[in-house]
Chains A and B, each alone.
Chain A
């Protein structure tokens, strides 16, 4: 079965970079890696996605290993508002849907 594996929780000091790893060893060759985050009691928010190359947008950077079995989401200067549960995902579900693991709870502290 397709699945993703992430650390349960991480702490990060405000202003420092937050590096969130994800293992997605079951990903297929043409599936993108997606990252979302969910702030308490809200719907998941799209952050970034990528296939093979590293990607960067206004929110974050995404580093994908050459074998594509893992990736790292980087928040370059974490703020208190970045405190959330971060999910990595890919389209590995039975209905062609995104699969979600338990995510990483990132706590950004002053």
Chain B
């Protein structure tokens, strides 16, 4: 099956710093990538949809200036958490869909962020 990678797998940072998370589709081209956040013992919550070459679409309540998303190529999308605070500590997961959004989505392994 298709493989999606994320880097880093975990990160610890100080409050106020910015953290960049990369999501790559390794063996297919993804026109659409999705970013999710998951708090302990909860389901996945969609943050934004990222389309190659265009601005991301954010879910209601997700601050676009705080969670910067860039989808510069068909295999790479990045999520930058700017001025991170302890409440941003969470498990961030990306997924990628090949060609069309209604195709099967494949998820990355996730990035665990801890903001001190």
Instruction: List A residues at the B interface (Cβ < 8 Å).
Output: 31-32, 34, 36, 41-46, 49, 87, 91, 93-98, 100-103
Contacts and interface: CB of A to CB of B under 8 A. Distances in A.
Interface of B: 1, 4, 6, 34, 42-44, 46, 49, 57, 59, 91, 93, 95, 101-102, 104-110, 112
Nearest to B32: A96
A103 B43 contact: yes
Contact of B43 (A31, A41, A100): A100
Given A32-B102, A96-B49, A41 B1 contact: no
B91 A41 contact: yes
Given A41-B112, A96-B49, A98-B105, A46 B44 contact: no
B108 A95 contact: no
A95 B1 contact: no
Contact of A43 (B49, B57, B59, B107): B107
A97 B105 CA distance: 9
